[in-house]
Amino acid sequence: MDEAQRMSDAARRQLGFLSRAETAALARFGVVLPDPGSVLVCADAGLEEGVVLWPNVILQVSTGGRMAVGRGTNLFPGTRIVASGGSVTIGAGAEIGEEGGFTVKAGAGETIAVRDEARLLGGGSLTLSNRIGRGAQILGPIRCENCILGDGGSHREPEPDRRGGVLKGSGVARHVEVPRGHVIQAFGLFADAVIRPQSYFHPKP
């Protein structure tokens, strides 16, 4: 090990992350890491088999926080997930951080749950407590605080009104609830915007 790598590992440990070798060793448990040297993972992050950690992903657990990422979930470049005294649970087959990264941060007493096959992309964030249902989507640079998106099918579900709840556009969503098959599109405050069936944007020919 050269001096640069020793210094890098020392800095990682100081900040509570695994060394480069320890990070690469996650592959033994079925975690997929195309570039282990660019990924920062805390030992307390629970990762199931098939989780994909693309370059520049950060998984940080501190102050008694809890984190679990389900089987087959893809964490794309620029994704940062932090459990700083709070709880973050991500289900199986989720897609987080494509098209600009994504931030998920749970502080003390906060709970963020992202269920199976949810899709969060475009540079948005989840802070405070949120429940992102099965198949739900956040599409765009949207800051979500205390939001609930209903369970439904994934974005691959052929019937739009059976898909999980969706937020799309940009801005701030506070205390917003979107049931299955519905969507709010906004560019500003989502609480002031109209909620519509998803078939409004995806009509049948």
User: pLDDT digits over 17-33, tens only?
Assistant: 999 999 999 999 999 99
pLDDT given at position 195: 98
Phi/psi of residue 37, nearest 5 degrees:
-65, -20
Long-range contact set of residues 23-28: C-beta below 8 Å, sequence gap at least 24? 26/53
**3-class state of residue 19 by DSSP:** coil
Residue 50 pLDDT > 70: yes
pLDDT in tens, 125-142: 999 999 999 999 999 999
pLDDT given at position 188: 97
Question: How far is 155 from 164, CA to CA, in rounded Å?
Answer: 8
Q: Which residue matches tokens 């540079």? A: 123
Fold of 3-132: UDP N-Acetylglucosamine Acyltransferase; domain 1 (2.160.10)
Q: What is the mean pLDDT of residues 75-94?
A: 98
Q: Which of 102, 68, 113, 94 is nearest to 155 (CA)?
A: 94
pLDDT given at position 1: 61
Q: What is the mean pLDDT of residues 164-189?
A: 98
pLDDT given at position 202: 87
Question: How far is 105 from 128, CA to CA, in rounded Å?
Answer: 7
pLDDT in tens, 143-173: 999 999 999 999 999 999 999 999 999 999 9
pLDDT given at position 28: 96
pLDDT given at position 2: 82
Q: How confident is the model at residue 4 (pLDDT cuts 50, 70, 90)?
A: confident
What is the chain's percent helix, strand, coil content, to nearest 5?
15, 40, 40
Q: How confident is the model at residue 5 (pLDDT cuts 50, 70, 90)?
A: confident
Residue 205 pLDDT > 80: no
Q: What is the mean pLDDT of residues 68-82?
A: 98
Q: How confident is the prediction for the chain on average, in pLDDT?
A: 96
